[in-house]
Amino acid sequence: MSTLTLRQEPPERLDLLHVNPLSLRGLSEAEAARLPVGTSRHGLTLGDCFTLALDGSEDLVIEGGSSRLDRVGASLSGGRIRVVGDVGQRLGAGMQSGSVVVTGSAGPFAGSGATGGTITVEGDAGDHAGGAVYAAKAGLDGATLVIHGSAGDYLGDRMRRGLILVGRAGAHAGARMIAGTIAATSLGDHPGYGMRRGTILTGAVGALAPSFVETGTHDLVFLRLLARSLRPLSPTHADLAAGALKRYSGDLATLGKGELWVAAA
């Protein structure tokens, strides 16, 4: 297991796009220490901010987190990363496979554009988790994003494929959703605003857009299969899928093939 130990709070935001188990595996500690990670003209390197202990394995632990650690696990194509602490924006962005676990909280745009693998945030996540960055065509695109705490607004904005599990989330969860599944214990106002397809499952919800229409309660095989697939990740969400649910169809202002499932009172 390779370890990077943060010496102190970084003096600037750090871009860890190229710091992952596969990229470090072929480098000596001296070579890895020279990797550029700074985002200003000061030219900070990995060795300026971290103490390195590399063994060439596919497991990387970052000891000591910071909200200034951006793009941790971004474009990861294998291996495992564990961060003991917080991270900044775009956690696991564009990730293809492998796993990233953060014991603290994450900034905005966690999992944006991720096509595979599993991203787990044991704390909270910022706005646009699983959502599209500016000018991007899609947000989460096939990966699994698990947030044990709460998420901000616009969770899964323009989500295309994959699964998002979250405790609570703010307003506009699943906005402009193309496809995929979002499961939450509660959501804020106007979930699914502008969604075309996809499934949103929640235990409680705020105000709904008038372009969502209730279609009654249903006992579908799909819901049983969904509950079965969620159980290894979260028994709470699995129980929600297996319980009594009301279905809303929408957003009828767009394609209207999405569905919102809300726990029945």
SS3 label, residue 76: coil
Per-residue pLDDT reduced to its tens digit, 125-141: 999 999 999 888 899 99
Residue 19's pLDDT band, with cuts at 50, 70 and 90, is very high
CA–CA gap between residue 23 and residue 72 (Å, rounded):
13
What mean pLDDT value characterizes the chain? 95
Q: Which of 172, 122, 136 is nearest to 152 (CA)?
A: 172
Per-residue pLDDT reduced to its tens digit, 144-189: 999 999 999 999 999 999 999 999 999 999 999 999 999 999 999 9
Q: Which of 17, 175, 183, 149 is nearest to 93 (CA)?
A: 17
CA–CA gap between residue 248 and residue 191 (Å, rounded):
11
Per-residue pLDDT reduced to its tens digit, 57-76: 899 999 999 999 999 999 99
Residue 141: asked if its preceding bond is cis (omega within 30°), the reply is no
Q: What is the rounded average pLDDT of the residues 219-239?
A: 93
CA–CA gap between residue 73 and residue 249 (Å, rounded):
36
- The pLDDT assigned to 256 comes to 87
CA–CA gap between residue 244 and residue 116 (Å, rounded):
31
- Give the DSSP letter of residue 109: T
Backbone angles phi, psi at 260, to 5 degrees: -120, 120
Task: Give the CA radius of gyration of the chain.
Answer: 19
Look at the pTM and tell me if it is higher than 0.75: yes
SS3 label, residue 256: coil
